[in-house]
Structure 1
Amino acid sequence: MTRPRAAWYRALFRLLLAAMLLSLSQAQAGGEGKGFKVGLTAVFLDNQTSFIRQWEKYLARRLGEPFEFVQRQSYREITQMLAKGQLDAAWICGFPYVRYRPRIRLLAVPLYHGEPLYQSYLIVPASDHVTRDIEDLRGRVFAYSDPDSNSGFLVPQVELLRRGIEPARFFGKTFFTWSHRDVVVAVADGVAQGGAVDGYVWDTLSQTHPQLTNRTRVVARSRRYGFPPFAASATLDQRRFERLQQVLLGMSDDAEGRRLLQKLNLDGFTSGDDSLFDGIREEVALFERGKR
């Protein structure tokens, strides 16, 4: 090989190597290719392992890289992992979303009946024809879903505080079920004489498991709040944030995405606005004052 040709090959090799290193560094800077880890809790998606695997596969294909749902029992476990940057994003509740700002940021909000809103339901056994209000449950056994749930804990606590009632002394006994579905089960079975549950979950169960919800009665529906959102870690790279957001928002645009949304009993996702959670912020402030 002549010297000019050898020099040309060396120059070409250096150029190709530099291009490869630049491409690699850019991918690493954007976090691309490492996969997404997104948190879920049993509070919201309970006993739906098969569906979760289907959703994982769909999101992985749409994102073009590995995708994993990380499941934990409580909102607190998942939200703390998210705030520490151990997760890229998570489907949480508006209560921890408000509390953990600015370590987390709004990624997407589900649309239910066309709006990013939902309610808390106060439920009692269907055999209870007397209870008309939360004050009728004084001294009774009451089921909450999760201590970081807006609909399953914060709403009834604040309702009592607004009436000048100390929640800790109001009920005869309280307990956490760690899922909204299990609040319904506890009330239906008479283990609890009342419970607070996510209205979206109760409505969905009334379609899929009417034999369960028919054994309960909705006593009261709260005002409407921002629907439990998908939140991202503040450390998530902006390009990856936008990619994940676009895929979630685009689920309603393709047949498979719509099929998955139908199983979730949702219409789609919107980017939403932080002001959706102002109502929860007001209640958190009242709740914190009530604890002093």
Structure 2
Amino acid sequence: MSSPSSRRAFLSGLLATGVGLAGGRAEPVLASSQPLQFGLTPVVLDDRIAFLEAWADWIERQFGRPVVFVQRSRYREILDLLLQGRLDLAWICGYPYVRNRSRLELIAVPRFRGRPLYQSYFIVRADSQIQRLHDLEGRLFAWADPDSNSGYLYPRFRLTGDGRDPDRFFRRTFFTWGHPRSVEAVAEGLADGAAVDSYVWETLALGHPELTAQTRVLERSPEFGFPPIVAGPALSEPDRHAIRRVLLSQVQDAAGRALLNELNLDSFGLETTDLYDDIARMAGRLAGGDGA
């Protein structure tokens, strides 16, 4: 069992900003080609740099161009880079996707436990006396990121639906800037509760059960479209088709399947944009619109 300090180091490492992974890799197959810039928000990985280098190499072999992963800790930073044309594609949350889907194209959606769906988990400490969501009233609560569906939009929508003001319901709130940090904040008693991505919590439970064992899932949301991989305006139409084919075929390749296993995913699938309509409706209702 790892120590609390090693856990903190692991979780802090997940959220390091400004990581570009081209530097330590071998020369790309097509050294003169423009690299594919692939943006990531924090993901749960035991050995992030080694894994992403292996995944970049695999995509590069299939795609025929060098691949550079660019990682940021805040969703907004990745979205801004994508919309500015400084990234070609990115793995983002469904909430920023629905707010910008006129400028973004859905490339592929991960399948987790056989489906392109995930949930928001409200979590508390395992030894907490809190038994229902309303018991968190007047407590300290951790949001993940203001552009997160599971870590911000849905929990606010859930409270509003009960006639509660999410800005007044808790005694105090703070942003952790990452779902792993939200889990850690609850586990270590820095927050009484949090709302986190079910995929992140379940993946942490596989790799770091000593951390998630200190928390308890209080309530699960309905299912929503899994955070998608999307293309920004900088990626050409032929490259959009090509990278989609690469991701959709990853499960059919032995090395590709091994990489998916490390991500705790089954495959990437082709989905339609209406997979995210529930998130769009929640965002519209909270903003006072019709949710379209």
The TM-score, its normalising length taken from structure 1, stands at: 0.85
Aligned position for 1:203: 202
Q: Shift of residue 49 of structure 1?
A: 2.2
- 1:268 is aligned to 2:275: no
After the TM superposition, list the runs of 4 or more consecutive aligned residues in structure 1 that deviate by more than 3 angstroms: 44-47
Aligned position for 1:123: 123
Aligned mates of 2:132, 2:85 — CA distance in 1: 42
Aligned mates of 1:250, 1:207 — CA distance in 2: 26
Aligned mates of 2:123, 2:237 — CA distance in 1: 42
- 1:59 is aligned to 2:67: no
Task: Give the 5 Å matches for 1:120-269.
Answer: 120-128=120-128, 130-269=129-268
Identify unmatched segments of 5+ residues in structure 2: 1-31
Aligned position for 2:94: 94
Aligned mates of 1:229, 1:156 — CA distance in 2: 20
The structure richer in helix per residue is: 1
Contact 1:116 1:227 in 2 (8 A): yes
Aligned mates of 2:80, 2:133 — CA distance in 1: 32
Instruction: Give percent identity, aligned residues only.
Output: 47
The count of aligned residue pairs is 257
**Structure (1 or 2) with the larger CA radius of gyration:** 1
Counterpart secondary structure, 2:76: helix
Contact 2:105 2:232 in 1 (8 A): yes
Aligned position for 2:41: 41
Contact 1:102 1:234 in 2 (8 A): no
Aligned mates of 2:114, 2:205 — CA distance in 1: 19
The TM-score, its normalising length taken from structure 2, stands at: 0.85
1:83-126 deviation line (CA, Å, top 9, x unaligned): 12211100000000001121111111000111100000000000
Aligned position for 2:15: none
With 262-271 and 280-289 compared, the bigger mean Cα shift is at 280-289
Contact 2:122 2:195 in 1 (8 A): yes
Aligned mates of 2:172, 2:53 — CA distance in 1: 37
AA in 2 matched with 1:115: R
Q: Shift of residue 45 of structure 1?
A: 4.3
Q: Shift of residue 176 of structure 1?
A: 1.1
Identify unmatched segments of 5+ residues in structure 1: 1-31
Aligned mates of 1:262, 1:45 — CA distance in 2: 12
Aligned mates of 2:215, 2:286 — CA distance in 1: 28
Aligned mates of 1:118, 1:192 — CA distance in 2: 23
AA in 1 matched with 2:123: I
Q: Shift of residue 33 of structure 1?
A: 2.9
Aligned position for 2:3: none
Aligned mates of 1:282, 1:217 — CA distance in 2: 29
With 115-124 and 79-88 compared, the bigger mean Cα shift is at 79-88
Q: In the superposition, relative to structure 1, how do residues 89 and 45 fare at CA in structure 2: closer, same or farther (>3 Å)?
A: farther
